[in-house]
Amino acid sequence: MLSSPARRGTILIIVAGVSALLASLALAFLARMRSDTEESQHLLQYAQAKIMLAAACNYVQESSRLGWDRYPATPTVDGLQIHDEAYGWVDVRDGTTGPKGKRVSGTPGFSGPELADLSANKWPSVGTHVRCPMYRMKRPPYAIKLNAGHNYMVTDNPASPDYCWPLLKNRDPRPAQDVDNYPDFAAGDKTPVVDTTGKAWFRVYRDGPGTFIVTCGSGGSDGFKNWDELSATEQLQFNSDRPFFENLRNAEVRLHYRIEWSAAVTEVTYHNLQHEIARATEHYETWPPNASHTWSSSRRTQTWMKNPVGTIRTIQRLIIEPSFW
């Protein structure tokens, strides 16, 4: 039996209608999911950018005291570069602009020589910036293993000559990866781990001796402000493709802050470690023997209060992008 064309058409219309309905529902669903994903991606970027604020503050704090590469060359001893300890962005000895090193005997003033050429138009001079793309290195410099015990006591073999002896036979800490020599250990392997690049960055602009403008970013621009800022070599990183870079820049989250670093760290008063009484006697005493609330078995320590890198006194989110950062 043959069905009439009218009936075939009716079925076709019904099937097509139902299919169209389902397709439109599916499209609406997909569109909604895509929209949600994009919004979630923005949230993720924002969260990453805020994490960069913490990273930037840590960078400012730690680089206030850590040694610097020197211009034009870092001094070496036995082939190893020597990085003198610094005394803060604002030198704690006389308030001059740091980073400066140890005072040289016989020289005037209270502070030491500059650890970087602060008159040059390069970081860390006032009025310059440093750009810090954040990625995971294969092996950071001076990386050590996280194992807690490299010299555990032998307790399961009474026949061992080391049985129950607390011997320090092994180096502790140990390099994260066995390397042939100290320079390799010091240099690490800074090759980025795949899929960790182009995610987030921060950039620090020093606008005063102890004040900075921090820009936190989440995206692929690696902290370059705009295309004009890139050198020809740096443009290769973006295939020398300006629209490509600008797409990356426009798709990322950028947050701008002003921060102020201070050399001040949490004080150590007599009582601030009261809970260390007779519990942590391995540490040196900070409690004067004739001070109040002291008795013969009392020990006070400042172990938990160590902070050699200063504090961030204030943070201000900027409402608009500043002209210089």
Partner 1 sequence: MNRVPAAVAAFTLIEMMIAVALGSMVILVAMSGFRTASQTITVANRLSLENSMLRSGYFEAQMQLDFWTNLDDPTRPDTERPLKGDQSVGGKLNWPYQTDRRGLPFTPMKKLSDDGIWAKAGTVPRVSSPATLPDGSRGNWVMPRPLSEISLASWDLDRGWDPTFYWAPHDPRTWCRANMAEKLRDNGGIGNDGVDNLPKMISGRYAIFGNTSTTPLTLDNYNVRPDLNHIDPAQRQTIQAVSYSGYPGANIHSWYYNQLNSLVRAMGYAAFCEYLPANSIYTWYSNSGDRTAGGIDNLGIVPWYGFTNGDGDQRNSRGIYRNTYSCSYGYINPRSWDYGLTATPPLSGTPLNGDTLRQRYYQCYESDYGATENDGAKRLRWLLSHANHPEQLLDSRPSSWPEVQVSVGRIIKNAHHVAVAKVRRFSPLNGELIELSWTGLGTTLRGARQQRHQTIGWARWDNASGATLDPHLDTP
Q: Looking only at residues 122 through 161 of this chain, which bind partner 1 when binding is defined by CB under 8 A? A: 126-128
For residue 99, what are the contacts with CB-CB under 8 A and spacing of at least 6? 63, 64, 68, 86, 87, 88, 89, 114, 115, 116, 124
Q: How many beta carbons lie within 10 A of that of residue 275, not counting itself?
A: 10
Q: Identify the residue among 12, 22, 167, 193 touching partner 1 (CB under 8 A).
A: 22
Q: Closest CB to partner 1 among 207 and 246?
A: 207
**Element holding 317 (H helix, E strand):** strand 311-317
Q: Closest CB to partner 1 among 36 and 285?
A: 36
Q: Which of residues 189-208 bind partner 1 (CB under 8 A)?
A: 207-208
Binding mask 209-238 for partner 1 (x = CB under 8 A): xxx-x-------------------------
In this chain, which stretch among 74-82, 136-144, 230-238, 270-278 interacts with partner 1, using CB under 8 A? 270-278
Q: Return the residue matching tokens 């210089």.
A: 324
Contact between 210 and 320 (Cβ < 8 Å): no
Q: Which two tokens stand for residue 243?
A: 């629209």
- Identify residue 280 by its one-letter amino acid code: A
Min separation Cβ 127 and partner 1, Å: 3
DSSP state of 110: S
Q: Which of residues 94-113 bind partner 1 (CB under 8 A)?
A: 94-97
- The answer to whether residue 121 forms part of the interface with partner 1 (CB under 8 A) is yes
Q: How many beta carbons lie within 10 A of that of residue 201, not counting itself?
A: 28
Q: Could you write out the DSSP letters of every residue in 202-229? A: EEEEE-SSSEEEEEEEESTTTT---GGG
Distance in angstroms (rounded) separating the CA atoms of residues 278 and 268:
18
Q: Which of residues 243-262 bind partner 1 (CB under 8 A)?
A: 255, 257-258, 260, 262
- The answer to whether residue 309 forms part of the interface with partner 1 (CB under 8 A) is no
Contact between 284 and 268 (Cβ < 8 Å): no
Q: Closest CB to partner 1 among 25 and 236?
A: 25
Q: Identify the residue among 171, 271, 279, 306 touching partner 1 (CB under 8 A).
A: 271
Q: Identify the residue among 100, 263, 286, 301 touching partner 1 (CB under 8 A).
A: 263
Contact between 221 and 186 (Cβ < 8 Å): no
In this chain, which stretch among 132-140, 180-188, 241-249, 287-295 interacts with partner 1, using CB under 8 A? 287-295
Min separation Cβ 63 and partner 1, Å: 18
Q: Looking at 167-292, list the stretches that DSSP marks H as alpha helix, in order from N- to C-terminal side.
A: 182-187, 232-236, 242-251
Distance of CA 108 to CAs 85, 97, 98, 180, 220, Å? 20, 16, 16, 44, 48
Q: Closest CB to partner 1 among 15 and 80?
A: 15
Q: Which of residues 157-186 bind partner 1 (CB under 8 A)?
A: none
Q: Which of residues 29-88 bind partner 1 (CB under 8 A)?
A: 29, 32-33, 35-36, 39-40, 43, 46, 50, 53-54, 57
Q: Closest CB to partner 1 among 137 and 265?
A: 265
